[in-house]
Structure 1
Amino acid sequence: MDALFSRLFASEEQELFFLDCMAYFMVFMAGGTLVALLFENVPYGRYASSRYGFPVNAKLAWFIQEMPALFVPLFLVVGTSPAKTSKLPNQLLIGMYFCHYVHRSLIYPFLLRGGKSTPFASFILACVFCLYNGYMQIRYSSHYAEYPADWVTSPCFIAGSVLWLVGFLVNVHSDHILRNLRKPGETDYKIPIGGMFEYVSGANFLGEITEWAGFALASQSVQSSAFAIFTTVVLTSRAVAHHKWYHAKFEDYPKSRRALIPFLF
């Protein structure tokens, strides 16, 4: 695998430049996505549409589309000679990333109960994004990211790690609440209750945004920052759409509940 990278890039400086370009392009795409989402919701889940291709089973779609985000990074760590994985800061950052995607790809899909099918176009775009981002995050963290020896005790790393952990726990707990809203055989939508859903309609989205914001703060890289920005754009739009949808569907929806940020927005 190292020989392949040597053929693709004339030097490590060239690959690092490429990784930086990937990050800046992701920020550019976040801007384009922001504009697009002003006119239409991301077409999956309750907003799925046949205009975007034939439906793919929800469990199968989640399992397959998240696989590149786990196995490409795993291959990069195991199948190459990563120069920085012996360093504690890099190990912890890589561990944060893998913790999320082990859950998202190997656990979350098999806990789903029902769920609307995913349009093929949305499924393919998710696969491409996971491949793109998985390579960008872990290749940088395992091969190029440089940190001082005391980075793990720095305020940025400590604050970012705490944010990541809080976000991860909120995300997992919120998904648990959503899965258990319906009894066996029920298909109708219900108002989420408990946890951060007492304060916001998009508790699961708030958790994931917080995760990657914390990861970016702990990492201090353009790659992690680009991922956090893109995640924030997509999930903020989805939280707002859910909030409006809940208010339109349920007359008794809590008036004090915000879309994404407790008490504010």
Structure 2
Amino acid sequence: MDAVLSTLFSSGEEELYILDNLAYFMVFMAACTLVSLLFVNVPYGRYSSSKYGFAVNVRFAWFVQELPAFLVPMCLVFWTTCAKTSLLPNQLLIAMYFCHYVQRSLIYPFLIRGGKPTPFASFALAFVFCCYNGYMQIRYLSHYAEYPASWVTHPCFIVGSMLWSVGWLVNMHSDHILRNLRKPGETGYKIPTGGMFEFVSGANFLGEITEWAGFALAGHSIHSLSFAIFTAVVLTSRAVSHHKWYLAKFEDYPKNRKALIPFLL
């Protein structure tokens, strides 16, 4: 892996420059995505359409598209000379990243019950994004990120880690609720209840946004911040779309429930 990277970059300074620019480009992509999502929903699940390509089995799609977010970082950590992985702040941030993607790529796809196929365009874009982001996040943390020895006691790291933990738990619990909405043999959509779903329609999205916001605060870099911004843009749009869909679908949908932020939005 070191040999591959050495052929791509003439020096560490050049690679770090590229990593920085990848982060800035992700912020630009977030802005473009925000504009596009004002006119069209992300084509997945209940919003799927044949115009975005042939349908891919939802379990297969989730497994394959998320796998690079786990495998690329694994290669970077174990098959390269990692200058920073012996440092505690870097280790903890890398652990946060892996904790999410071990579940999301190796466990979550096999827990899916039913689910509509994923259009190929969405599947392909997600695959590319996971390669891109997995490289950017973990290459920076394992090889370039420098934190003072006391960073783990800094308020930014402590608050960020707490936000990440709360977000991860909300995300996991919300996914569990969604998986168990229907009893064996039942079909159709139901209103999710329990947990943060008592307050917002997009409880799972709120959890993941909170996760990566905490990760960005703890990581204190443009790389983690760009990911948090992109995640917030995409998942906020999904939460709002879901909320509108629920209100139109169910006459008895709780009127006090918000789309994403309890009591506000």
After TM superposition, is the score higher than 0.5? yes
CA distance in 2, matches of 1:186, 1:158: 44
What is aligned with 2:100?
100
What is aligned with 2:39?
39
What is aligned with 1:232?
232
CA distance in 1, matches of 2:238, 2:73: 27
CA distance in 1, matches of 2:165, 2:159: 10
What is aligned with 2:209?
209
Given residue 228 of structure 2, which amino acid in structure 1 is its aligned partner? A
**Secondary structure of the corresponding residue to residue 104 of structure 1:** helix
CA distance in 2, matches of 1:88, 1:46: 43
| Shift in Å, 1:143 | 0.3
Given residue 202 of structure 1, which amino acid in structure 2 is its aligned partner? G
| Shift in Å, 1:184 | 1.2
| Shift in Å, 1:211 | 0.2
How do 1:1-265 residues align onto structure 2 when only pairs under 5 Å count?
1-265=1-265
CA distance in 1, matches of 2:10, 2:134: 22
| Shift in Å, 1:5 | 1.4
Given residue 148 of structure 2, which amino acid in structure 1 is its aligned partner? P
CA distance in 1, matches of 2:164, 2:194: 21
CA distance in 2, matches of 1:7, 1:16: 15
Runs ≥4 in structure 1, deviation > 3 angstroms?
none
| Shift in Å, 1:255 | 0.6
> How many residues matched?
265
**% identical equivalent positions:** 77
CA distance in 2, matches of 1:48, 1:226: 27
CA distance in 2, matches of 1:4, 1:126: 24
Residues 178-202 of structure 1 deviation map (CA, whole Å, 9 limit, x = unaligned): 0000011222000000000000000
Structure 2 gaps, min length 5: none
- Across the aligned residues of Structure 1 and Structure 2, the Cα RMSD in angstroms comes to 0.5
Given residue 212 of structure 2, which amino acid in structure 1 is its aligned partner? W
CA distance in 2, matches of 1:128, 1:186: 35
Structure 1 gaps, min length 5: none
**Secondary structure of the corresponding residue to residue 262 of structure 2:** coil
CA distance in 2, matches of 1:109, 1:3: 33
| Shift in Å, 1:261 | 0.2
What is the TM-score with the length of structure 2 in the denominator? 0.99
